[in-house]
Structure 1
């Protein structure tokens, strides 16, 4: 089966008022449009255009047995449009999610409670591919030598000295754990403000982008300790078509731009700043991978003429990218999303759907291989 699906944008405050409308070729509504979900997640399941007015979760439940496919998708595909910075976040591993969810269930913490950490028992690795000319993100913790060079440009306030002291540990991971634990859990507000002010006004060719970002974050989240955490992270500027993969334990935040995002089907998010929401510092510190590393860029591999594949090597998802024309072998129930031009998607049965930018279709495995002609299309499917 090959059937068109659609959804409406979610109006989170950080959303852009123009990026999704621009992709879809319509007049902006004037409201923030942050994400469009293409999947069966109960928070916002897509609508199936088969005349029944069913949502994709209900459609899958009905057709799963007959089609021999799972009744739930292991992934969620999104358009994400950041007009303002999102919160700094980390996601648990599968084992951590299972243990944390069971612990909070046993303690009777309501699943919708604001201070609940684990909404389900799944991990939430994710990939985002830039659709705008640039997509800005924070991802992972920067090499400690570079961070020390950055701090050397910030002067000698009490706050800056206190941060440097915590970064003096011999082991980089221990130093970063101490620094982030202090910033989020112990630091006096006045010391945090001193660091932010110094970073916002610093003059450094090497770290000019970090200073500019500090000013942006300070405008959106005044005196938020997450701004100091951001100073310890890799600042990444993706070009269109480039991607990052965020596995469990990697601190990250999306700052600005339009992208296609795919993630494991989970709501488990622990925050580390740039938010008025609950931050459980102690639990956060148990999840974060404090080892400094290069930005987690995910290179696509060739998957045939006109096709590349973003495959992080996990069972939850992979993401094919078709430009112009190409054929994709499906692994399970898949979703094709058009992002540019008029694309025609044709399944093995001969069924075809024309997709304008921002429109999508669900495909069952019996439609494999699927041929795509015209435009630019992403195909989400289970991974290996």
Structure 2
């Protein structure tokens, strides 16, 4: 069963004006185009081709199919998304039930849990570079970044809370105190302080410090923080962003944000795949509701490098991104005119074209796709992709 699907781009303020139109080969509308959703999520289900107006969730229900366990998107960012983390499935179930029992409307601005699912997610870069903040970098690295800010109240306060009172850190910014051995405690305390107690004067001093900061090692990080400060004046989430790994992905590179890991995409075009959920706990760089106690309940305060995903080449022209979740896996397929590719399926799938012109074929049906077009594939154990171009195949994971 093949069902061609499409959707209207969502016009979130952080969206790019031109990245999605360029992918689809059309003129920009002049409005931000942030995301295109491919799936049956009730927040914005895809529309079935043919002019009937039927949505994919309606079509699947009519055919007796189960809802998809994943949601596929094209994401185009021109400025930072909110810093956010997502709950585990156990946390989501308990907290969703709590808000339901309390009678909080599901569309309320301060509603945190809109469903009972977790929301791990992976994003693969399509643009020449895709920038993201993800996870908490090692604290010694952050101490060196803060040391580059120069003298001032923000530097002094941050160094003290990073476990290195001013004058006690080494020349490289490394901590010498007892807190250096307890990074999780340091991070947890610093996050809570940044979002509840850091005052406007301190944030303003941090912005001034970033403007004069000069560091070869952290030049990209400082530029990213300056841009965030300009887009979100006075937002204490800037301190949270300062703690996070900056990742610059090149085409085909990917990162994975599991439950609890802070992340905030900054700029670029990518294909994003996630569990079918809309549960978001925000941690700054946003005008939306931030519930600090709930964020602190779910956030992962472990430090370390960014959680990147290296694809496995399973056949010529076929690379699979398989994070350790059962909800989804993502396969990137490149085909040439003389070399069609067959992809094995473990369940229902969505095939999204991102380059060239391709055909998606099953035993009894075929659909042609151009960049930005997609097709739902159901009740099949394999699908053939032919033509000259590239597609991504979203389907249930192996885990």
Tell me the TM-score normalised to structure 2 length: 0.92
1:328 to 336, 343, 356: 343
Cα distance in 2 for partners of 1:251, 1:188 equals 22
Q: 1:95 to 1:372 in 2, by over 3 A?
A: farther
SS for the counterpart of 1:124 is: coil
Cα distance in 2 for partners of 1:303, 1:313 equals 17
SS for the counterpart of 1:192 is: helix
What CA deviation, in whole Å up to 9, does each residue of 1:38-75 have, x standing for no partner? 100112111112564311000000112xxxx42x0010
CA contact (8 A) 1:189 1:223 kept: yes
2:173 paired residue number: none
Tell me the TM-score normalised to structure 1 length: 0.96
CA contact (8 A) 1:334 1:365 kept: no
1:29 paired residue number: 29
2:321 to 286, 291, 310: 310
Alignment of 1:1-384 (within 5 A): 1-50=1-50, 52-64=52-64, 69-70=65-66, 72-168=67-163, 169=179, 170-324=181-335, 325-347=340-362, 349-366=363-380, 368-384=382-398
SS for the counterpart of 1:237 is: strand
Runs of 4+ in structure 1 off by over 6 angstroms are: none
What CA deviation, in whole Å up to 9, does each residue of 1:316-343 have, x standing for no partner? 1111110124211111111000000001
What CA deviation, in whole Å up to 9, does each residue of 1:299-320 have, x standing for no partner? 1111212111011121111111
What CA deviation, in whole Å up to 9, does each residue of 1:272-293 have, x standing for no partner? 0100111111111111111101
Instruction: Please report how far the alpha carbon of residue 367 of structure 1 lies from its aligned counterpart in structure 2 after TM superposition.
Output: 5.6
What CA deviation, in whole Å up to 9, does each residue of 1:215-265 have, x standing for no partner? 111111111111111110000000011000100010000000000000100
Q: Which ranges in structure 2 are unaligned for 5 or more consecutive residues?
A: 164-178
CA contact (8 A) 1:89 1:271 kept: yes
Greater mean deviation of Cα atoms: 75-84 or 318-327: 318-327
Cα distance in 1 for partners of 2:53, 2:102 equals 39
Q: How many residues align?
A: 378
Instruction: Please report how far the alpha carbon of residue 148 of structure 1 lies from its aligned counterpart in structure 2 after TM superposition.
Output: 0.7
